[in-house]
Amino acid sequence: MIDWKKNKFKTNNTTKLEHCLSNPEQTSKNTNKEIRLTKLVESAGCASKISQDNLRKILAALPKISDPRVLVSPDTWDDAGVYKLDDKIALVQTVDVFTPCADDPYTFGQIAAANSVSDIYAMGGKPMTALSIIGFPINTVSYKVMRQIIWGGIDKMKEAGVVIIGGHSINDKEIKFGFAVTGSINPAKIITNNNAQPGDILILTKPIGTGVINFANKMDKASVSAVMAVNKSMAELNKTASEIIAEMGVTTATDVTGFGLIGHLSEIVVQSGVTAEIYADQVPLFDGVVDYIRKEMISCALRRNKEYASQYLEVAKNISQEMENVFYDPQTSGGLLIAIGEEQGEGLLSRLKKKGIKDAAIIGKVISKSGGRILLKKIS
């Protein structure tokens, strides 16, 4: 038994160890009502992720996967990994964790859950189970905030039909939350990012600009209506869109998240070996996004995305720099970007809108085979 009277940590370091010995409910100064989560982190949401360029450098030096049961691996930069169990079923697995992109804890939890299951939806899979992952400064922020974050995630996962069967927490200086999600899919019906063909049209299911508005909000520059609009969008599941594209036999899609529209489209065009054109005036945007960019509401993550993805992009002369920058904006829980044959495209768009995905729009077209290029232009 330790004699605490003689122990030097008790006599000399009481102040330093107080946070380890005390009750979090007593030591936490902040409460749910007093705190703005985005003020506690350096970067909000998917803007906190590591850049494409750095990830490629890191992953390039790692061992390749050679197991024949792995149907989709990190080699193709798809949204999730796929592991074959038998001829009729495979597991789809992903993990996604990021910092707060909303000030309200419950809302942030919902968004984190919606973002985590989105990778499963992008592959055409059905999410089944999840494990929660949270980093939290338990000694400086009330445990009630952590509980609200997790509660929001639980409710959103229930909406997705996903059972949370466990999780892991760590004491961290910055709040981080997300899930490791497992889903199922027929091995013959996997939707990947490498099957886009000339003649396909490109459909996006949610507006873009969440990163710009989240950054403006962090700087106290965003309007209440703008913040409410992006929070609502980020918390919406891509479930319905995924079910529709799976029913229609779509083979190419991805979700638009931290690498921005151009970054995620660059994966499609490179992996598919095609050139695509994007119609800047047809891409759905949140109200005021271009104005916020004019006011220099530009995060470091947007700049990183541009540094990497601009190598694939050719910009028409009538596209302003502000408009171009919108398409590098890191999205949090963005929509699905879908490539589908032109003859089916209007039918898909109609079905999406009938099911309540009102912002879905045709934003471009795959025009030819190539090594992977994107042309940004206007059509009006």
Judge if 91 and 212 occupy the same domain. no
Judge if 85 and 220 occupy the same domain. no
| Alpha-carbon torsion angle 318, 319, 322, 324, nearest 10 | -160
Judge if 95 and 223 occupy the same domain. no
Judge if 178 and 204 occupy the same domain. no
Query: What 3-state DSSP class applies to 248?
Result: coil
Give φ, ψ of 139 to 5 degrees: -90, -10
* Domain-located, residue 322: yes
What six digits make up the tokens of 181? 């999600």
CA distance 358 to 182: 29
* Domain-located, residue 22: no
What six digits make up the tokens of 298? 């530009």
Judge if 92 and 152 occupy the same domain. yes
What pLDDT score does 6 carry? Answer: 43
pLDDT(8) > 50: no
What pLDDT score does 23 carry? Answer: 40
pLDDT band at 284 (very low <50, low <70, confident <90, very high): very high
Considering 153, 188, 223, which residue would you say is the last residue of a domain? 188
Output the average pLDDT for the chain: 87
**Ordered DSSP codes for 186-202:** -GGG--BSS---TTEEE
pLDDT digits (tens, 9 = 90+) for 343-366: 999 999 999 999 999 999 999 999
* Domain-located, residue 170: yes
Considering 148, 173, 188, which residue would you say is the last residue of a domain? 188
The strand pair at 336-341 and 70-72 is best described as: unpaired
Considering 188, 209, 243, which residue would you say is the last residue of a domain? 188
Judge if 44 and 165 occupy the same domain. yes
Identify each DSSP E strand in 24-125 by its residue range.
70-72, 81-84, 90-98
What pLDDT score does 30 carry? Answer: 42
Judge if 283 and 175 occupy the same domain. no
| Alpha-carbon torsion angle 289, 295, 296, 301, nearest 10 | -20
pLDDT band at 261 (very low <50, low <70, confident <90, very high): very high
Task: Report the chain's C-alpha Rg in angstroms.
Answer: 22
Identify the burial level of 327 via C-beta atoms within 10 angstroms of its C-beta, where 0-12 means exposed, 13-18 middle and 19 or more buried. Answer: buried
* Domain-located, residue 215: yes
pLDDT band at 178 (very low <50, low <70, confident <90, very high): very high
What pLDDT score does 34 carry? Answer: 65
Judge if 182 and 194 occupy the same domain. no
* Domain-located, residue 343: yes
Domain count, the chain: 2
According to DSSP, residue 285 is labeled B
Which domain does 368 fall in, by range?
190-377
What b/e readout covers 104-132, taking b as 16+ CB neighbours within 10 angstroms?
bbbbbbbbbbbbbbbbbbbbbbbbbbbeb
* Domain-located, residue 156: yes
pLDDT(152) > 90: yes
What pLDDT score does 75 carry? Answer: 78
Distance, CA of 209 to chain centre: 13
CATH code of residue 61: 3.30.1330.10
pLDDT band at 273 (very low <50, low <70, confident <90, very high): very high
Selection from 373, 375, 123, 376 nearest residue 266 by Cα: 373
Marked catalytic residue, from 20, 46, 101, 300? 46
pLDDT digits (tens, 9 = 90+) for 39-53: 766 666 545 666 666
pLDDT, greater one: 325 or 26: 325
Judge if 198 and 182 occupy the same domain. no
- Name the amino acid, one letter, at 95: V
Residue labelled with tokens 């809302």 = 107
* Domain-located, residue 61: yes
Judge if 332 and 248 occupy the same domain. yes
pLDDT digits (tens, 9 = 90+) for 96-131: 998 898 999 999 999 999 999 999 999 999 999 999
According to DSSP, residue 287 is labeled T
46 part of the active site: yes
pLDDT(10) > 60: no
What pLDDT score does 285 carry? Answer: 97
CATH code of residue 338: 3.90.650.10
189 CB-near residues (< 8 Å, 6+ apart): 124, 246, 249
CA distance 204 to 202: 7
Judge if 206 and 268 occupy the same domain. yes
Judge if 242 and 361 occupy the same domain. yes
* Domain-located, residue 80: yes
What pLDDT score does 64 carry? Answer: 81
